[in-house]
C-alpha cells in the first residue's frame, strides 16, 4: 500500500502547493483512492507534479462536510467521470465557524449533493468491499478537541454546536495491515481509534490524518497538558501515526518528543509505503 500526501498545510518543496486542507492519494492492490480533496484544485496540480493520474481514481472518500476537505471535489469531478464518491448523509448540511459575532460558512458546495457519482452513506458502518470500510458515529468520550467549540451547524433558524455526525473514517485492509484514514478527527483521534477497534475487532497498525489540536479561527493550540495526555494514550494503541494539517506544527513537536518514532509529520509530497 502506498499513501501520498497531496495537500497539507506545509510543503517543503516550492513546486508543491500547500493550503489549509488535507488530501491523500492511496494505491492498494485493488484500488486507486482519493481521501479528501483539500479546499481547492491545488491537490490536482500537486498530483500532476508527482506524476499521479487522478483520472484513474476509482474510489473517493470525503471525511466530513468542511471546505478544507471537500472544497476541491468539483474540480476532481471535472476530470474524473467514473469514480464513486462517498460522503456521509449529513455532509451537505450548513456548517459554520464563529468568531465573536461573525459566522463564516465552511461547508461544501450544495450543488454537488445530487451529482450522479456521489453516494451518501446512510449507515454507521459501510462496507465498500472487503478491504475498504467506512465508519462514522463516533462518541466523544475522551479528549475531544476544544477547537470544536467555534464550529456550529445551522438548521433553519436554529444554531447549535456541530456534533460531527457527518464525520467518517476509512479503514484499509491489506497484507496484515489495518490503516485508518481520518480527516480532522473532530470526534477525537483517540475516540476514533478505540471505538473502531471495539466495533470491528481490527488491530489498527497505522493512522493518517489531522488531530485538530490547532484552532485556525482563533489561532490557538490545545494546551500542552492535554496534548501530552493525548500522546500518552495514543502510545498505548501500538499504532504508528502520520499526522499533519490541523494538528499544527507546535502540537506535533510536543507529540514527537513524547511518542518518538511512533509519530511522523506528513508534508505535501511525502510518500509512505505501508
CB-hemisphere CA count at 13 Å for 203? 5
Nearest CA among 150, 70, 83 for reference residue 117: 83
**Which is higher by pLDDT, 157 or 259?**
259
Q: Which band of pLDDT confidence, cut at 50, 70 and 90, is reported for residue 3?
A: very high
Cα dihedral angle (31, 9, 65, 146), rounded to 10 degrees? 130
- pTM, 2 dp: 0.96
Q: Is the pLDDT of residue 45 over 90?
A: yes
Predicted pLDDT of residue 203: 97
Q: Which band of pLDDT confidence, cut at 50, 70 and 90, is reported for residue 61?
A: very high
Predicted pLDDT of residue 216: 81
Angle between helices 189-200 and 224-235 in degrees, nearest 10: 20
Q: How far apart are CA 63 and CA 255, in angstroms?
A: 23
Predicted pLDDT of residue 217: 76
Predicted pLDDT of residue 237: 96
Nearest CA among 86, 81, 78, 74 for reference residue 34: 86
Concatenated DSSP letters of 214-251 = EETTTTEEPPHHHHHHHHHHHHTTT-EEEE-GGG-HHH
Q: Is the pLDDT of residue 63 over 80?
A: yes
Predicted pLDDT of residue 193: 98
The answer to whether the CB of 44 falls within 8 A of the CB of 20 is no
Predicted pLDDT of residue 124: 98
DSSP state of 165: T
pLDDT tens across 204-249, in order? 999 999 999 998 877 889 999 999 999 999 999 999 999 999 999 9
217 φ, ψ (degrees, to nearest 5): -60, -45
Q: Which band of pLDDT confidence, cut at 50, 70 and 90, is reported for residue 192?
A: very high
The residues facing 129 across adjacent strands are 132
Predicted pLDDT of residue 215: 84
Q: How far apart are CA 169 and CA 15, in angstroms?
A: 30
pLDDT tens across 71-118, in order? 999 999 999 999 999 999 999 999 999 987 789 999 999 999 999 999
pLDDT tens across 17-27, in order? 999 999 999 99
Domain boundaries, the chain: 2-273
The answer to whether the CB of 244 falls within 8 A of the CB of 24 is no
Q: How far apart are CA 230 and CA 158, in angstroms?
A: 33
Report the DSSP pairing between strands 151-155 and 94-99.
antiparallel
Mean pLDDT, the chain, whole residue set: 97
Residues 6 or more apart in contact with residue 198 via CB below 8 angstroms:
none
Report the DSSP pairing between strands 32-35 and 59-61.
parallel
- Report the CATH superfamily, name and number, of domain 2-273: Ribonuclease Z/Hydroxyacylglutathione hydrolase-like (3.60.15.10)
191 φ, ψ (degrees, to nearest 5): -60, -40
Predicted pLDDT of residue 116: 98
**Which is higher by pLDDT, 182 or 147?**
182
Predicted pLDDT of residue 262: 99
Q: Which band of pLDDT confidence, cut at 50, 70 and 90, is reported for residue 2?
A: very high
Which grid coordinates belong to 77? 469531478
Amino acid at each position: 500500500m502506498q499513501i501520498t500526501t497531496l495537500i497539507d498545510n506545509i510543503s517543503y518543496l516550492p513546486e508543491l502547493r500547500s493550503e489549509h486542507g488535507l488530501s491523500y492519494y492511496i494505491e492498494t492492490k485493488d484500488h486507486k483512492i482519493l481521501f479528501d480533496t483539500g479546499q481547492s484544485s491545488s491537490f490536482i496540480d500537486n498530483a500532476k507534479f508527482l506524476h499521479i493520474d487522478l483520472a484513474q481514481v476509482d474510489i473517493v472518500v470525503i471525511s466530513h462536510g468542511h471546505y478544507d476537505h471537500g472544497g476541491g471535489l468539483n474540480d476532481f469531478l471535472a476530470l474524473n467521470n467514473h469514480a464513486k464518491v462517498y460522503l456521509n448523509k449529513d455532509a451537505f448540511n450548513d456548517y459554520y465557524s464563529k468568531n465573536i459575532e461573525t459566522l463564516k460558512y465552511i461547508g461544501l458546495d450544495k450543488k454537488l449533493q445530487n451529482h450522479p457519482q456521489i453516494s451518501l452513506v446512510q449507515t454507521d458502518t459501510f462496507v465498500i468491499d472487503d478491504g475498504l470500510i467506512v465508519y462514522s458515529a463516533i462518541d466523544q468520550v475522551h479528549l475531544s478537541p476544544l477547537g470544536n467549540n467555534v464550529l456550529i451547524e445551522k438548521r433553519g433558524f436554529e444554531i447549535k454546536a456541530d456534533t460531527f455526525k457527518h464525520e467518517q473514517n476509512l479503514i484499509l485492509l491489506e497484507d496484515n495491515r489495518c490503516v485508518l484514514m481520518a480527516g480532522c478527527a473532530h470526534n477525537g483521534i483517540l475516540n476514533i481509534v478505540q471505538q473502531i477497534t471495539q466495533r470491528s475487532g481490527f488491530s489498527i497498525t497505522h493512522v493518517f490524518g489531522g488531530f485538530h489540536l490547532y484552532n485556525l479561527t482563533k489561532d490557538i493550540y490545545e494546551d500542552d497538558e492535554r496534548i501530552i495526555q493525548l500522546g500518552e494514550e495514543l502510545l498505548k494503541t501500538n499504532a504508528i501515526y502520520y499526522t499533519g494539517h490541523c494538528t499544527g506544527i507546535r502540537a506535533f513537536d510536543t507529540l514527537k518528543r513524547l511518542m518518538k518514532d511512533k509519530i511522523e509529520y506528513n508534508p505535501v509530497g511525502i510518500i509512505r509505503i505501508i
